[in-house]
Structure 1
Amino acid sequence: HILSRTALHLPPSILLSIPTTKITNSLFLIRIFFSLLTKKEQKMNLIKLFSFSFTATRTNCKNRPIDLVFIIDSSRSVRPAEFKKAKEFLQAMVDSLVIGRDATRVGLVNYASTVKIEFLLNTFFDKSSVMQALGQVEPLASGTMTGMAIRTAMEKAFTKEAGARSASMNIAKVAIIVTDGRPQDKVEEVSATARASGIEIYAVGVDRADMASLKLMASQPHDDHVFYVETYGVIEKLTSKFRETLCGLDPCDQGHNCQHICVNSGDSYICKCRPGYILNPDKKTCSRADACTQGHDCQHICVNTRDSYMCQCRTGYVLNTDKKTCSRMDSCSSEHNCQHICVKSGDSYVCMCRKGYLLNADNKTCSRSDPCSHGHDCQHICVNSDASYMCKCQVGYVLNPDKKTCSQEMRSEISEDACMCEAQIVFQKKVQSAIQELTWKNILF
């Protein structure tokens, strides 16, 4: 802002000599700006520039929500002007915080030989009210009962009734003690109890403050929780230190390994996923949430994969080239295991055998059948013949033209046996048989 205002007042000859690409370069403008000023003007504007930067930083502080209670020493050793400086120090810290019901809450415990709770964590929920209340605090009296003040803060200021939030909300409880003297009561035990209850204690010593007592009160590590300044006049030096401590850094801005979204969470961060995705067990990467339930274009079956989905078909169907729709498959044209004949049957197939064969029990292979055993019309003897059968007659009979029935054989020739005995016997039997047959038919008699 300062630089842009200055650039507007530069002579046209200088502005025209500046390359267009460099007008937006802040460092280049700074060099032009300061080259036109005297040494005194350079110093004054440099102070303004850095004051502007400091104000922007203070305004943009995004501290994590905390329950903050100031414990301030207002004993007789603290002069009025010094006490005013102490209050300004507290106001500067509050000014850098985000104050609110769901943000940081502030309380104040004032102590000397007695202890007074000036306001609790649930008294004010806006910054201006807290700032005003801090400015109106008056010093108490003689004495430095620091231990009593710590106990009062623990038992009355950091309670649910006083506005302190539950531990399940993961909101830090912070106490900042400001004192310039040696405690007149014991602080070690009560401080340890307060710390054990979850209160983080910072101890700020001024002038005659006892460093050993400060360490007994403060949380570990002492390098981060114990501070000392020579006088109340320079206590504002600690403002930036506490601003850094209470505001903290934006964990997500410091670098993270979230695949999708980084969300600040207190002193750390958590990862979240974009809509339609779920966080994997590593708490960093994301996978598509049940993609099939999010909508798909599969005709039959949708199957989730790691980051997407794929389509499949029901039994008896094959996936088309579009990878979405399905067509009924010709089960017999694809691979089958029928030995003879494959016949489609609904979404599947059945096996059949060629004529003269029977389907085995495995419903796949075929064996040659026994036609005679399956029924025939032979009068005498059935004989299997490849895939069918043929008829034969018993000895002394001949097969009739129908290839099924048999008739007794009639032979005219006489057997030429050496003795002719058997031939004569056979001839006689035939004659007798013929006569009997004619008799039955009433031809001779």
Structure 2
Amino acid sequence: MDRLVWCFFLLVSIITLINAQDTTDAPGGGSPGDANVTCDTGEADIVFLVDGSRSIGINNFILVLNFLENLALGFMVDDGRIRVGFVQFSFFTRMEWDLNTHMTEAALVDAIRNVRYLGGGTPTGAALTFVLQNSFRPEVGSRAGVAKVVILVTDGMSTDNVTLPAQALRDAGIEVFAVGVANADEDELRTIASPPLDTHVFNVADFGVISDILGNLTSNICDAVDDTPGTGDDPIREGRVYAHIKARVMHALGANVTEILQQFLLNVTRNICTDCQVDVTTTVTPDQIPPV
């Protein structure tokens, strides 16, 4: 297994060097956002935690909802792999819906479009605690053995302490992404987010450009879900290691993986996974790649 992990990161490093000439700086690492990124990954329970304070305003809140709609469209909701809950906070915290409420992409998108803006204050710490206590319970759809993710979107500094609530979320094994807009406090975002901070903290100047981070955020969530330990007790499934490595390479290079590169990945898989039964004749397409 150690050899598999080492070789995978070697491949990722090579791919990064290949694509370096096309990469420009953007919040959260990598290249500028691509609104068409799709998160073809394992299972995850994801909760949007959204600041509904009065400083945002109704027009900007609509921009946030548009952003979250596009983010949700990048997840595999229809096949049941990804579940999405939504919590809004201001002077009080409101559960918009649970993880098991909207189980299709169409229903989820419709729900996001119909969230009503609260207006009020910014007690982010209380909202983080609310999510920990209410969103990740089995009776509301949270599943054992899958990745847990919280995506916070806020525009200002919290009126209460965030350090302990954020630490409690992370200690519970929940991956936290912090998206700040306009007047959000960078230090506070970094206090809330999970490490590594360069892939979990995003801070943009105003709501009009929040969509610029969409591609990077989606990709980083994909990576976090794939890399989350303890998301199941089964060992790596035989015959799927090659598909998994190829999927990650396709994610970095695009779907057009050449025959030479496919053969290289096949040889790597055989060398590091001697008990894997890899079918050389099988053509693996993005929609057929099973989770590992």
Q: TM-score range by the shorter chain?
A: 0.5 to 0.7
Instruction: Determine if contact 1:64/1:246 at 8 Å carries over to the other structure.
Output: no
Structure 2 residue aligned with 1:177: 152
State the 1:260 CA deviation. 5.8
Instruction: Determine if contact 2:170/2:194 at 8 Å carries over to the other structure.
Output: yes
Return closer, same or farther for 1:172/1:287 CA change in 2, 3 Å cut-off.
Answer: closer
**TM-score normalised to structure 1 length:** 0.44
**What amino acid sits opposite 2:58 in the alignment?**
P
Structure 2 residue aligned with 1:217: 192
Return closer, same or farther for 1:216/1:259 CA change in 2, 3 Å cut-off.
Answer: closer
CA distance in 2, matches of 1:242, 1:182: 21
CA distance in 2, matches of 1:239, 1:63: 17
**Helix, strand or coil for the counterpart of 2:88?**
strand
Structure 2 residue aligned with 1:158: 136
Q: Determine which of 164, 167, 180 is the counterpart of 1:192.
A: 167
CA distance in 1, matches of 2:140, 2:41: 22
CA distance in 2, matches of 1:183, 1:152: 15
Structure 2 residue aligned with 1:238: 213
State the 1:83 CA deviation. 0.3
Structure 2 residue aligned with 1:264: 244
**What amino acid sits opposite 1:285 in the alignment?**
T
CA distance in 2, matches of 1:95, 1:165: 21
**What amino acid sits opposite 2:222 in the alignment?**
C
Structure 2 residue aligned with 1:116: 94
Equivalences for residues 66-215 of structure 1 within 5 A: 66-100=44-78, 102-166=80-144, 169=145, 171-215=146-190
Instruction: Determine if contact 2:180/2:186 at 8 Å carries over to the other structure.
Output: yes
Instruction: Determine if contact 2:57/2:119 at 8 Å carries over to the other structure.
Output: no
State the 1:259 CA deviation. 9.9
CA distance in 1, matches of 2:272, 2:210: 43
**Helix, strand or coil for the counterpart of 1:264?**
helix
**What amino acid sits opposite 2:72 in the alignment?**
V
**What amino acid sits opposite 1:194 in the alignment?**
L
Q: Which runs of 5+ in 1 are unaligned?
A: 1-53, 252-257, 269-281, 289-445
Give a deviation string over 1:306-342, Cα, whole Å, max 9, x none: xxxxxxxxxxxxxxxxxxxxxxxxxxxxxxxxxxxxx
CA distance in 1, matches of 2:72, 2:189: 23
CA distance in 2, matches of 1:259, 1:104: 24
Return closer, same or farther for 1:69/1:207 CA change in 2, 3 Å cut-off.
Answer: same
**What amino acid sits opposite 2:244 in the alignment?**
N
**What amino acid sits opposite 1:96 in the alignment?**
G
**What amino acid sits opposite 1:118 in the alignment?**
E
Return closer, same or farther for 1:151/1:259 CA change in 2, 3 Å cut-off.
Answer: closer
Bigger proportion of residues as strand? 1
**What amino acid sits opposite 1:233 in the alignment?**
G
Q: Which has the higher contact order (CA 8 A, sep 6+)?
A: 2
Give a deviation string over 1:132-185, Cα, whole Å, max 9, x none: 10111111121101111111111100111111111xx2x210001000011001
**What amino acid sits opposite 1:117 in the alignment?**
M
**Helix, strand or coil for the counterpart of 1:219?**
coil
CA distance in 2, matches of 1:237, 1:71: 19
Instruction: Determine if contact 2:149/2:174 at 8 Å carries over to the other structure.
Output: yes
Q: CA RMSD in A?
A: 2.8
**Helix, strand or coil for the counterpart of 2:60?**
helix
CA distance in 1, matches of 2:140, 2:209: 33
State the 1:63 CA deviation. 2.6
**What amino acid sits opposite 1:180 in the alignment?**
D
Q: How many residue pairs align between the two structures?
A: 210
**Helix, strand or coil for the counterpart of 1:83?**
helix
Structure 1 residue aligned with 2:274: 285
Bigger proportion of residues as helix? 2
Q: State percent identity of aligned pairs.
A: 31
CA distance in 1, matches of 2:66, 2:213: 12
